Chain A
Amino acid sequence: MKPELLDPIEWESIIDTIDREFGQGVTKKLLGKLTPMALVEGNWRNIYLIPTSWMNLLIEEAPSGFDYHLAGKQLGVMTKDRFRLSLQILPELAQMTTKILTVSRQGAESFTYGRSILKESVVYLDFNLKRNQRVLVMDEEFHCLGIASLATDANRLSRLKSDDLVGKNLVDIGWFIRRLG
């Protein structure tokens, strides 16, 4: 993959996507003193946060004969117009956001096998969250298990049946295992 500096417009759109979903200023906190860059392959732009001292190695003096596959902290991936957060950044993000769906032990196990979240598994969901909102899925011990998209407004939760869908699984940490077969 080819390393590239991030165009400010692209970076602004990533900031906007993350902040809109998880709270104003969150992306800036995730960035800290690091610099965003992309590893590009076709339509995929993998976004990483790296120390500025790595810029020479990665951008200015990229060696021939080697292909970059990962560098520093993976923020997410941009495919066409859509940005998806990386699993790696989620534990850090969980400390900064209130967009959280807490699930029961059984719900947590099911979620890490790639399943979505039913009403019966929901332990806590902020009353104000709306349908299509992306939320971090946490177990009751505050382990971050992945991301879900709400299938309903949170204030309608009490009216749902126990097997109604609440959160659609977008990505979960079971991927680390499933990916490798």
Chain B
Amino acid sequence: MSRKELRQKAKTIAKEHEYLPYMIERYLSLWGEEATMQFIEACEQPIRTSIRMNPLRAEPEKVIERLKKKGVKLEKIPWLVHGYYADFEGHSTPGAFLEHMLGYYYVQGVPSMTTVEVLDPQPEETVFDLAAAPGGKTTHIAQQMQNSGKVIAIEMDRRRIASLESNILRCGVTNAIVLRGDAKKVEKLGLKPDKILLDAPCSGEGLIPLDPTRKSSKSMADIRFCATREDELLDAAVNILAPGGTIVYSTCSIAPEENEYIVDDILKRHPELKVAPIPLEFGIPGYSEPFGVHLDESLKMAKRFLPHLHGAEGFFICKMIKEGST
């Protein structure tokens, strides 16, 4: 298909499905027409609700039993230790359950739970969560660490800090320090964390199934703006990571410009940084040649969630190790 034909086709599909043409044009280039149509169709379907059990507050087996008694249907998510698809049909919202108020579980998307599982924080480590609100990943990190060591949760947005604090308190997290400030200036803390999670603020292009307004709310310039910020945040994070440490970079965007391009750039600037394999069975490999642009081959070890392939919001997860000994 010629460039002109591709543009014309994108324009037609975009008009019919209320997307901006530039988005469809990029999907066609990345995936071809059939997968693009599958993507569009999948974005019209609701995403299954999922929850994470919180052993800091209650034994997961007992919570599962309680929820089942209340008519909640649970299905284990294969690659997640405490993750379950949860069907609350016939009930009010999952947040209104007593078990939720008690912090026994956290309502969280599957890709978000997966990022922390990939990071694999261990007890007694120092872990940074660089864009922490509303706290799903911070509380997950703390539960993996069994409330030992410390989680430094950084959030820039004053309004979002309230939800971060509230979730930390509800979930019984006692090893967190919450800081409001610019994560790009994180070196001022003078710490060398063992692990860093950067779930970067992004254009949210993967969230179309949850927010249909995203089909037409962001321009290519917005994606470029986000990409610049993501690059700066990742650079700051890599600079403070302890030698031998692990960083997980993730976004809820499906745009290669916010994902593989960012990691490719950081790998060039930081030769000590290597993409590491993710030993969990989920998603598809990251792209090493999106839009015909040749990127670092190791990006195939990153993982992607796509709505039409995984029934989840679009997501990118890349695990990297900083060479050297701790």
- Quick one: which of A66, A88, A173, A176 contacts B179, CB cutoff 8 A? A66
- Contact between chains at B175 and A72 (CB < 8 Å): yes
CB within 8 Å for A176 and B101 given contacts A67-B180, A69-B178 = yes
Residues of B close to A65: CB separation below 8 A: 181-182, 185, 188
Q: Does B112 contact A (CB under 8 A)?
A: no
Residues of A close to B191: CB separation below 8 A: 57
Q: Mark B164-193, 1 if CB is under 8 A from A, else 0.
A: 111111101011111111100100111100
A85 to B175, CA, bound (A): 19
- Quick one: which of B161, B162, B175, B189 contacts A63, CB cutoff 8 A? B189
Q: Does A33 contact B (CB under 8 A)?
A: no
- Contact between chains at A74 and B169 (CB < 8 Å): yes
Residues of B close to A15: CB separation below 8 A: none
For A1, give the chain B residue with the smallest CB separation. B180
Q: Does A103 contact B (CB under 8 A)?
A: no
Residues of A close to B220: CB separation below 8 A: none
A73 to B164, CA, bound (A): 14
For A3, give the chain B residue with the smallest CB separation. B177
Give the size category of B's interface with A.
35 or more
Q: Mark A57-76, 1 if CB is under 8 A from B, else 0.
A: 11001011111111111100
Q: Mark B154-167, 1 if CB is under 8 A from A, else 0.
A: 10000001111111
- Contact between chains at B177 and A58 (CB < 8 Å): yes
Q: Which of B150, B154, B169, B175 has the most CB of A within 10 A?
A: B169
- Contact between chains at A68 and B150 (CB < 8 Å): no
For B187, give the chain A residue with the smallest CB separation. A63
CB within 8 Å for A70 and B178 given contacts A112-B98, A177-B95 = yes
- Shortest beta-carbon distance from A113 to chain B in Å: 10
- Contact between chains at A54 and B177 (CB < 8 Å): yes
- Contact between chains at A70 and B176 (CB < 8 Å): yes
Residues of B close to A112: CB separation below 8 A: 98, 101
CB within 8 Å for A88 and B150 given contacts A69-B178, A112-B98, A180-B163 = no
- Contact between chains at A179 and B102 (CB < 8 Å): no
Residues of B close to A67: CB separation below 8 A: 179-181
Residues of B close to A71: CB separation below 8 A: 176-178
A9 to B297, CA, bound (A): 62
A74 to B102, CA, bound (A): 16
Q: Does B293 contact A (CB under 8 A)?
A: no
- Shortest beta-carbon distance from B54 to chain A in Å: 12
- Quick one: which of A57, A61, A69, A177 contacts B165, CB cutoff 8 A? A69
- Shortest beta-carbon distance from A39 to chain B in Å: 10
- Shortest beta-carbon distance from B228 to chain A in Å: 20
Q: Does B1 contact A (CB under 8 A)?
A: no
A58 to B189, CA, bound (A): 10
- Contact between chains at A70 and B101 (CB < 8 Å): no
Q: Give B residues with C-beta under 8 Å from A.
A: 57, 95-96, 98, 100-103, 150, 154, 161-170, 172, 174-182, 185, 188-191
